[in-house]
Amino acid sequence: MGILETLDQIVLQINDYLYTYLMIALLIGLGLFFSIKTNFVQFKYFGEMFRVIFEKSTVDASGKKGISSFQAFTISAASRVGTGNLAGVATAIAAGGPGAVFWMWLIAFIGAASSFVESTLAQIYKVKDKDGFRGGPAYYMEKGLNKRWMGIIFAVTITFCFGLVFNAVQSNTISLAINEGFDVPKAAIGLILAALTAVIIFGGLKRIVHVTQILVPVMAVIYLVLAFVILIMNITEIPSMFMLIIKSAFGLEEAAGGALGAAVMNGIKRGLFSNEAGMGSAPNAAATANVSHPVKQGLIQTLGVFVDTILICSATAIIILLSGEYLRADAESINLTQSALSVHVGDWATIFVAVAIFLFGFSSVIGNYYYGETNIEFIKNSPKTLFVYRVAVVGMVYFGSIAKISLVWDLADLFMAIMAFINLIAIALLYKIAMAALSDYRKQRKIGKEPVFYSDSIEGIGDTECWERRPETEK
């Protein structure tokens, strides 16, 4: 057994322990807790999410317009809507059976409340920078909990997780899909991806925003339209497909592809990888928006969880399950999605998925890079460190293109669990601040006022650099 194979086995064993004894309790337990405390904000304020997402950004006292709510949403969506939606769902079904889809849905519905809390906190404790604003878990750990050491640990973890490991996952899936569709050598694909990544990440946040703002909506709409067409083509099979998912989720359909434990574990892992609810990644994008009230961005990022899992991941699951390809012995990753689509619409689907996975995956590389950048700046504002990080990102994009599939996914699961564990502890300690912000928002909306947040809106809030005190005229 080689070094990489040994490393893969060690990482896999650690993952089994983490997800069995820690992540289920934290993800589901805290998600339910936040859902109850917020009076199920993810459902009650669903309409409000659409109202605020297209709201224009406000202008601060210095005249900076900043990034709009929609632009901040697309940065986080660029990371959420990636290979997890095509390859991740396929991997979950191949390893855990159709029941894994149910557990992905459950994690999305429950985790949406955690996403609201973390993104609202990110807005409250954001700081100013040359591009407008930045923030995230590291910042609310320092300013809200007065634990900079905790913020540094998280910053290092997310930089490795997203900037390096997750980007290796994205490029790994892209190279596999393009190799399958066009028979291009993986090494050549890696060089092209690395070069494209370098061009964009050395261009700054504004370029990241412009690229994701175009790519994300286009690729999501095209993919959803295709899934809808396939759904209509197989409309009579839909009831039995949903019954298969439910039965498999609780171990009642073992022949369909996996025991109960495998369905739960793979559903949770791939669900978390895809929608990132509670992981601490989306808040980094949420903090960049210039809005009048932190809750607005909390609601928008909550919507992102639904868009990712309930729409796009479900679209992939429908395509795969209706094809029957998941029963194949060699069903594994993106090749499962490609073969499933080919069953429905013909051999051209393999090429279509290769193009789609490039758009999904490459936009994720861009979003993932930004998460690392903003956390490096939290630790130390060093141009040299940032340059080294950018070079490392480009290197990992190439490495992922040629690496073994299982190793990059297992490494991603490990860093994802560590990152989520740290962040969930932090938001559990700070959730009352997010609850108070939601209460303030509700009161203002109830009297017909457009909600505006001030640093003294919440008692004992701590250091809020970007929010002014309430004017004397409103006291």
3-state secondary structure of 113: helix
Mean pLDDT of 438-467: 91
**pLDDT computed for residue 61 by the predictor:** 45
Residue ranges of alpha helices (H) inside 255-333 are 260-275, 282-286, 294-305, 314-323
Q: State the pTM of this model.
A: 0.85
Q: Place 17 in a pLDDT band, splitting at 50, 70 and 90.
A: low
**pLDDT computed for residue 213 by the predictor:** 63
pLDDT of 403 above 60: yes
pLDDT digit string, tens, across residues 358-367: 877 887 888 7
pLDDT of 77 above 70: no
Q: Which of 24-33, 218-227, 393-402 has the lowest mean pLDDT?
A: 218-227
| Bridge partners, residue 289, by sequence | 67
**pLDDT computed for residue 316 by the predictor:** 85
Dist. CA 336–CA 91, nearest whole Å = 8
pLDDT of 12 above 60: yes
The proportion of the chain whose per-residue pLDDT surpasses 90, expressed as a percent, equals 28
**pLDDT computed for residue 344 by the predictor:** 87
pLDDT of 317 above 80: yes
Q: Which of 6-10, 31-35, 56-60 has the lowest mean pLDDT?
A: 56-60
How far are the Cα atoms of 17, 45, 227, 294 from residue 41, in angstroms, in the given order? 32, 5, 29, 14
Q: Place 256 in a pLDDT band, splitting at 50, 70 and 90.
A: very low
3-state secondary structure of 45: coil
CATH code for residues 3-449: 1.20.1740
Per domain, the residue ranges of the chain are: 3-449
